[in-house]
Chain A
Amino acid sequence: QKEVEQNSGPLSVPEGAIASLNCTYSDRGSQSFFWYRQYSGKSPELIMFIYSNGDKEDGRFTAQLNKASQYVSLLIRDSQPSDSATYLCAVNGEGGSYIPTFGRGTSLIVHP
């Protein structure tokens, strides 16, 4: 049973701070890792994906992957109130198991 774990939060950060969201996974053979953002009442939208160990930056967002420790994180720099949402981590398996497993999501609140 593949598992993807996220702290449900809420994580509360002040505007302008760095928000750090973490995700751990159980399937050591996982190959693809995704972060989705879901506003209340809306569907999830893809923010970033990462395949290789290390950091991947896209604007204010940085995804960090450590396969040895089986965790992936998302950093949001200069957090804005508009970043307040639930962030979902998703992980694909190995060997053609393309159906991703989603975490429960972390609720982020950025307060002015």
Chain B
Amino acid sequence: ETGVTQTPRHLVMGMTNKKSLKCEQHLGHNAMYWYKQSAKKPLELMFVYSLEERVENNSVPSRFSPECPNSSHLFLHLHTLQPEDSALYLCASSQESPGAGNTIYFGEGSWLTVV
């Protein structure tokens, strides 16, 4: 149990479907993240929210749409995905603080397969 909960853990969707990934953190943190991890590739930062405002968007295609309704919840809305979007999607949270600190804690991930 990491304090960051992701659902669903596994998702198979067609290219024309619309689905959402959900993340909830129980750590009282003020920043939340979406990362993508494909096979044999490093972690790719997708989005960062700080105090519910998006502060980072790493040139992610518009078929991925994040939503952060409050500091504890983060969604990733998916539509018209491509097979190459199949990957492990990791949610993370941290307590933003200046200087040293800001340890990131990951959820268990959502395995996405696009068929």
| Whole-angstrom distance between the Cβ of A17 and the nearest chain B Cβ | 26
Total residue contacts A-B, CB cutoff 8 A: 54
A43 and B101 contact, Cβ closer than 8 Å, known pairs A99-B56, A102-B42, A105-B42: no
How many A residues, CB 8 Å from partner?
Answer: 23
In the complex, the chain A residue whose C-beta lies closest to that of B45 is A99
Interface string of B100-115 (1 = CB under 8 A from A): 1111111111000000
A32–B101 touching, CB < 8 Å = yes
A98 and B97 contact, Cβ closer than 8 Å, known pairs A32-B102, A43-B90, A45-B2: yes
CA distance A95 to B42 in the complex (A): 25
Does any Cβ of A come within 8 Å of B61's Cβ? no
Which residues does chain A contribute within 8 Å of B99, judged by CB atoms?
Answer: 31, 96
A46–B105 touching, CB < 8 Å = yes
Which residues does chain B contribute within 8 Å of A44, judged by CB atoms?
Answer: 43, 90, 106
CA distance A49 to B95 in the complex (A): 15
| Inter-chain pairs besides A32-B102, A98-B31, A98-B98, 13 sampled, C-beta below 8 Å | A31-B99, A32-B101, A43-B88, A43-B109, A45-B106, A46-B104, A46-B105, A92-B102, A98-B96, A98-B102, A99-B33, A99-B48, A100-B102
24 residue pairs from A and B, CB less than 8 Å apart: A31-B100, A32-B100, A32-B102, A32-B103, A43-B88, A43-B108, A44-B43, A44-B90, A45-B106, A46-B104, A49-B103, A92-B100, A92-B101, A95-B98, A96-B98, A98-B94, A98-B96, A98-B98, A99-B48, A99-B56, A102-B42, A103-B42, A104-B42, A105-B42
Interface set of A (CB-CB < 8 Å, partner B): 31-32, 34, 36, 42-46, 49, 51, 88, 90, 92, 95-96, 98-100, 102-105
